[in-house]
Amino acid sequence: MRPKGLPIYLCAMFNQRTKIKTLLDGEANNQEVTVMGWVRTFRNNQFIALNDGSTNTNLQVVAELGSFDDEFLKRVTTSAALKVRGILVPSLGKGQKMELKATAIEILGDSDPEKYPLQPKKHSLEFLREIAHLRFRTNTFGSVFRVRHALAYAIHKFYNERGFLYIHTPIITGSDAEGAGEMFRVSTLPFDNPPRNEDGSINYKEDFFGRNTNLTVSGQLEGELAATAFGEIYTFGPTFRAENSNTSRHLAEFWMIEPEMAFYDIEDNMNLAESFIKYLIAYVMEHNREDLEFLAQRQADEEKQLPQDKRSDMGLIEKLEFVLKNDFERITYTEAIDILLQSPAYKKKKFQYDVSWGIDMQSEHERYLVEKHFKKPVIVRNYPKHIKAFYMRQNDDGKTVAAMDILAPGIGEIVGGSQREERMDKLVERMKEMHIPTDELWWYLDTRRFGTVPHSGFGLGFERMVQFVTGMGNIRDVIPFPRTPKTAEF
């Protein structure tokens, strides 16, 4: 019960706690506070490094000698959960500006040090992936996921400030026509004995939705429907691709931001994408400085083990500042191919895959352009139409489409987008050429039937953006529970 007149937060048992970051950002004035968190280390039977996930910096809790029972202190082990009440005082010791002189310590949850797999030492990222349920409790993943959160927030902020509507597109989709990647089937039919048609094929009319359904690979087509009513919209949701790519940049389940804008041509599209990326970087630079500094140091330490030519030219923060300050390079696909053909790498046969006009550039080509040639993000536009999707607007040359990809140092493709084909006849012609069933996409084609307008959009892979900002080399380390071929633990 709440005594009359007392604000609710003074009565709650748990919410009277102060977060460690809030304490560390302020001053120690001998005020009494309560903190809760998990023990990182306990030394000299006196000093507890407590962490509550609000920052990587632990709060030093001092359990003065003689004030606490020895048997009790034995339970203060790494990862035990504590509630500590105490007086916040300036610290005399080196390494921290304040410490909490404990007056009361309560153990909320014990942790058996013999069994707890995380020791206060450096673990490899590979090992931590195997205990992804606990890796949140490390400094590296603390920083990564706080930055990931900040980016997600900044994405909504960016679009909200510009009047874009957040649209939720379906996760289960009836259209498998887009061809952006291999799809995961969604079905409730029995695997071992599905109902069949007379010709032996599976009878999806008996399935849950009465048709064949899949997990979405992109919300774009539905996004276009909304954009042709609201003008500017975006989606931000999970997408699924059953592509068997075991790379450091591909997940089977990843999050994508897909803005779609009526009355935008390809130039407007590129301008939006560039300012979007810069806005996200600026946001994190301003709000997550401490985490970025930690991640920058982590990357620098990791690169010390690499040969000189494999190390980054710039530190993480330097790189982000550089990207903020400079315009992205903008070139056409044809120019990109010419640069590759003229490159020393090509002449010395350093590329594994051949280069000629018409190829779908491989990661090694994209990385050459951004990392070796331009040394900054590059927007490539006007790709050959035969390597791009049916909905991209055909250019007058008859060979290329108004597509644009943004390539980022260390990552490769981070954004894929285009101006969409708004001309019904051209769109239908292209669909027929590519064997896309026009009858199944009748609803999509209606946008071109009823008040069609020039419009554009793109998809930013959220995890690739998190990789770029955090400097993490493997995409499995920027999503809490990665799904990749042969792994779906947790």
Task: Find the binding residues for ligand ATP in span 410-429 (CB under 6 A).
Answer: 413-416
365 is an interface residue for ligand ATP by CB under 6 A: no
The residue (of 134 and 180) whose beta carbon lies closer to ligand ATP is 180
- Total residues at interface with ligand ATP (CB under 6 A): 17
- Could you say whether residue 257 binds ligand ATP (CB under 6 A)? no
472 binds ligand ATP (CB under 6 A): no
Instruction: For residue 395, give the DSSP letter.
Output: P
Q: Does 251 bind ligand ATP (CB under 6 A)?
A: yes
Consecutive H or E run containing 417: strand 412-419
Q: How far is the CB of 380 from ligand ATP (least distance, A)?
A: 12
Q: Considering only residues 176-235, where is the footprint of ligand ATP by CB under 6 A?
A: 180-181
Q: Which is nearer to ligand ATP, 219 or 416 (CB)?
A: 416
Residue among 55 and 173 whose Cβ is closer to ligand ATP: 173
Give the strands of the sheet with 185-186, arranged side by side.
Answer: 172-173, 213-215, 185-186
60 residue type, one letter? Q
To ligand ATP, the closest distance from the beta carbon of 84 in angstroms equals: 41
Q: Output the smallest distance, CB 470 to ligand ATP, in A.
A: 15
Which pair of tokens denotes residue 1? 């019960």
Per rule CB under 6 A, is residue 385 in the interface with ligand ATP? no
Name the amino acid, one letter, at 131.
I
| Residue selected from 259, 409, 461, 482 as contacting ligand ATP according to rule CB under 6 A | 461
Contact status: 464 vs ligand ATP (CB under 6 A) = yes
260 is an interface residue for ligand ATP by CB under 6 A:
no
Place of tokens 């947790």: 490
Residue 254 makes contact with ligand ATP by CB under 6 A:
yes
- 209: closest CA among 184, 189, 181? 189
Nearer to ligand ATP, 107 or 359 (CB): 359
Angle between helices 289-303 and 316-325 (to 10 degrees): 120
In angstroms, rounded to a whole number, what is the distance separating the alpha carbons of residues 140 and 386? 42
Q: Which of 40, 148, 241, 365 binds ligand ATP (CB under 6 A)?
A: 241
Is position 88 an interface residue for ligand ATP (rule: CB under 6 A)? no
Report the chain's C-alpha Rg in angstroms.
Answer: 27
b vs e for 321-360, b when ≥16 Cβ sit within 10 Å of the residue's Cβ?
Answer: eebeeeebbbbebbebbebbeebeebeeeeeeeebeeeee
Q: Which residues contact 18 (CB under 8 A, 6 or more apart)?
A: 33, 34, 35
**Could you say whether residue 359 binds ligand ATP (CB under 6 A)?**
no
Binding site for ligand ATP (CB under 6 A): 180-181, 241, 243, 249-251, 254, 256, 413-416, 459, 461, 463-464
